[in-house]
């Protein structure tokens, strides 16, 4: 601003007291800085479900959805915030934490993974989600697995044989579609050693993810995990999967 314009601008300020305008400018600047700090240290938040708790009935029941979202997912968010608070991890994005998880404490791996995995999982389901993917994703599945039926059976098998708690995934890995699974709340984005049963088997960008922890199905299906896995195909949001596929590095 040129000197003349500054004088004009000052002249236009209302004179409340001798220090009024300056003081209020300082207060505004300070408020802006505080807001900037708040944003930098933004805490992780539980996302709102994109549908009602009963939207996936009868395949996934309302009570399971409500407890899964408000108790389990919420606990991952709360514990992740606790784990990063006051550390150099505070303010980092979830993606950044996942990509460097081998450097961070196990509480960040478990709760950060839990937050990332569930945030994705909710968006991969919808009411009346039955059907098969079309377009580029449909073609890529046929080319990678032979047919949609062959892909489905490979994915179902990965979900069924994952021992204990974990996830089954369809990922883009080195340009190819691959079915894999992870234990606990690990996911294929984590920079963990691959190839062992105790860690992520394959790294890649998730296109589909299925939660096979007992808390995801036990109220309705008890020990019948294969039945839950089979019914999940009625609520898959293939539009979301296609969107993730279009954005994934090929």
Output the smallest distance, CB 160 to Mn ion, in A.
Answer: 17
Q: Indicate the residue whose CB is closest to Mn ion.
A: 211
Q: Which is nearer to Mn ion, 220 or 245 (CB)?
A: 220
Q: Among residues 218 and 233, whose Cβ is nearest to Mn ion?
A: 218
Q: How far is the CB of 45 from Mn ion (least distance, A)?
A: 17
**Whole-number minimum distance, CB 95 to Mn ion, in Å?**
20
Within 10 angstroms of residue 105's Cβ, the number of other Cβ atoms is 14
**Residue 126 to residue 112: CA distance in whole angstroms:** 24
User: What is the rounded CA–CA span in Å between residue 89 and residue 96?
Assistant: 9
CA-to-CA distance for 164 and 167, rounded, in angstroms? 10
Nearer to Mn ion by Cβ, of 84 and 216: the residue is 216
User: Is the Cβ of residue 186 or residue 211 nearer to Mn ion in the bound state?
Assistant: 211
With contact defined as beta carbons under 8 Å apart, do 113 and 98 qualify? yes
CA distance 152 to 233: 9
Judged by beta carbon, residue 89 or residue 120, the one nearer Mn ion is 120
Residue 111 or 173: which CB sits closer to Mn ion? 111
The residue ranges that bind Mn ion (CB under 5 A) are: 211, 213, 216
- Which strands form 205-211's sheet, in the order they lie side by side? 176-183, 166-173, 205-211
What is the torsional sign of CA 125, 129, 130, 132? negative
φ/ψ region of 86 (left if φ > 0, alpha if ψ in -120 to 50, else beta) reads left
- Residue number with CB closer to Mn ion (69 or 141): 69
Specify whether the CB–CB gap between 111 and 80 falls below 8 A. yes
Distance between CA atoms of 11 and 123, rounded to whole angstroms? Answer: 55
Quote the least distance from Cβ 182 to Mn ion, whole Å.
Answer: 13
Separation CA 212–CA 165 (nearest Å): 6
**Smallest distance, Mn ion to C-beta of residue 211, A:** 4
CB of 73 to Mn ion, least distance (A): 7
Q: How far is the CB of 104 from Mn ion (least distance, A)?
A: 21
């Amino acid at each position: 601003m040129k000197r003349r314009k500054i004088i004009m601008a000052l002249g236009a300020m209302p004179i409340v007291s001798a220090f009024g305008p300056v003081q209020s400018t300082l207060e505004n600047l300070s408020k802006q800085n505080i807001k900037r700090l708040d944003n930098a240290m933004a805490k992780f938040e539980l996302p709102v479900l994109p549908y009602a708790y009963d939207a996936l009935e009868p395949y996934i029941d309302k009570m399971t959805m409500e407890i899964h979202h408000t108790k389990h997912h919420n606990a991952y968010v709360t514990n992740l915030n606790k784990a990063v608070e006051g550390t150099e991890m505070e303010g980092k994005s979830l993606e950044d934490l996942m990509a460097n998880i081998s450097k961070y404490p196990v509480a960040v791996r478990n709760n950060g993974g839990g937050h990332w995995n569930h945030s994705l999982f909710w968006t991969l389901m919808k009411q009346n989600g039955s059907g098969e993917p079309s377009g580029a994703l449909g073609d890529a599945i046929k080319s990678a697995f032979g047919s949609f039926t062959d892909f489905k059976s490979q994915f179902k098998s990965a979900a069924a044989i994952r021992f204990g708690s974990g996830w089954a995934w369809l990922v883009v890995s080195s340009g190819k579609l691959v079915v894999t699974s992870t234990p606990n709340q690990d996911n294929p984005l984590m920079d963990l050693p691959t190839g062992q049963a105790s860690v992520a088997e394959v790294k890649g960008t998730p296109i589909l993810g299925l939660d096979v922890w007992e808390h995801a199905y036990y109220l309705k299906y008890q020990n019948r995990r294969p039945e839950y896995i089979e019914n999940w195909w009625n609520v898959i949001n293939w539009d979301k999967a296609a969107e993730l596929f279009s954005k994934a590095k090929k």
